[in-house]
Structure 1
Amino acid sequence: MRIRRVVTTRAGGYSSPPYDSFNLGDEVGDDPAAVAANRKRLATELGLAEDRVTWMEQVHGRTVRVVDGPLDGPAEATDVLVTAERDLALVALVADCVPVLLADPEAGVAAAAHAGRVGARVGVIPAALEAMYSLGAQASRVEVLLGPAICGQCYEVPREMAADVERHLPGSACRTANGTTGIDLRSGLWNQLAEAGIGSVGVDPRCTAEDESLFSYRRQGTTGRIAAVTWVGSA
């Protein structure tokens, strides 16, 4: 089966500064009408009805929601969406956290995960994989894309925080470009996926803090959200 993946940028929408312009986050202070127009445009560009694009109320946890059809609003208090339904798009919103798109093309199972520091630390990706396996996915067939996120050279954190994350997500601790203590979440997640037997892991190298075509909370403070979207195509 054909797995579709899309990552948006901040260009081409209806939002005004500092959300300019294709902000897809509805809980960041942007004009709701602009966000609704941006979400409608996203569905149109994906070639899907608006109710076939599924959103989450992300809370930096490890809760998984398996969906088999359109929801009445966003999935509440959820950081992973999983489906085996055709043409049902799953969305993870980020502005420095790692959007993780997973799929087993043979089983026709897809997942979208929001993996920030807290979620990655508490095991949001192992939770996503377990839900996928329950629908027939197998580790040897799963393909993963780690989307745009803040890179380790830009993600400065206190030493104690880096050590704590490293204990739970080995391979994440690093040094920033300034020589201070940092975290590289994509590196830690890559190691975690490899340990889980996932052999196909792609990484979008863009850093949200460095690339001004993307939203970044670290760079801007008040800002919008880009979307990482995946779905199982019907054709």
Structure 2
Amino acid sequence: MRVRRVVTTRAGGASRPPFDTFNLADHVGDDEGNVFANRKRLASELGLAEDKLAWMEQVHGRTATIVDGSETKAAEATDALVTATPGVALVVLVADCVPILLADAEAGVVSAVHAGRVGARVGVVPAAIRAMREAGAEVGRIEALLGPAICGDCYEVPADMAADVEKHVPGSACKTRKGTPGLDLRAGLWRQLADLGVGKIGVDPRCTNEDKTLFSYRRDGTTGRIAGITWIEA
């Protein structure tokens, strides 16, 4: 089966500043009509029906929800979506957190994961892998893409916070460009995925804080969200 993975940028949409322009989040204060228009364009550009986009109400937790495309609203209080239904596109929204797109192409199972500092710490990635296995995936066949996120050079945090995340997600703690305590979540999550037995792991190196074509909450405060999307072609 063919797996598709897409990561959006902030360009080409209907939203006005500070959400300019391709904001896909409906919870950040943007005009609802503009978000609707952007989501409609997303579906059109992907060649999918709008009702085949699966959204989630992200809460920085570790819940993984299996969906099949019959849902009529976003999955509640969920930070990972899993499906074995071809043509159902899973969407994760971010503006510094790590979007993770997982797939076992042979089994036809995909997952989209929202892994911020808190979600990574409490184990959202292992939860997503467990849900994928429940849906028929095998860990050794899973391929992962860690999408654009704030990099360790930019993600400054208090020393005790860095130590706490490092305890739960080894490999995350780092020094920032200024020499202060920081977090490189993609590095820690890469190691976690490898330790879980995931076969192939790719990284999109773009930093949301540095790249002005992407949304960044830390850089801008009130802002929009880019999306990571994955699906099995029907």
Taking structure 2 as the reference length, the TM-score comes to: 0.99
The offset of 1:70, in angstroms, is 3.2
Residue of structure 2 equivalent to 1:220: 220
Match for 2:88: what amino acid? L
Q: d(CA) in 1 for partners of 2:69 and 2:185?
A: 31
Match for 2:198: what amino acid? I
Partner SS for 1:12: coil
Contact 1:144/1:201 (<8 A) preserved: yes
The offset of 1:199, in angstroms, is 2.3
The offset of 1:198, in angstroms, is 1.0
- What are the residue-to-residue correspondences of 1:87-102 with 2, within 5 Å? 87-102=87-102
The offset of 1:135, in angstroms, is 1.3
Residue of structure 1 equivalent to 2:23: 23
- What are the residue-to-residue correspondences of 1:150-189 with 2, within 5 Å? 150-189=150-189
Return structure 1 stretches of 4+ with deviation > 2 angstroms.
none
CA distances 1:99-144 after superposition (whole Å, capped 9, x unpaired) = 0000000000000000000000000000000000111111110000
Residue of structure 2 equivalent to 1:36: 36
Q: d(CA) in 1 for partners of 2:136 and 2:14?
A: 40
Partner SS for 2:87: coil
Q: d(CA) in 1 for partners of 2:54 and 2:135?
A: 18
Q: d(CA) in 1 for partners of 2:113 and 2:124?
A: 7
Identity of aligned residues (%): 70
Contact 1:101/1:113 (<8 A) preserved: yes
Partner SS for 1:174: strand
- What are the residue-to-residue correspondences of 1:197-216 with 2, within 5 Å? 197-216=197-216
Q: d(CA) in 2 for partners of 1:150 and 1:97?
A: 7
RMSD over aligned CA atoms reads 0.5
Contact 1:70/1:88 (<8 A) preserved: no
Taking structure 1 as the reference length, the TM-score comes to: 0.99
CA distances 1:142-181 after superposition (whole Å, capped 9, x unpaired) = 0000000000000000000000000000000000000000
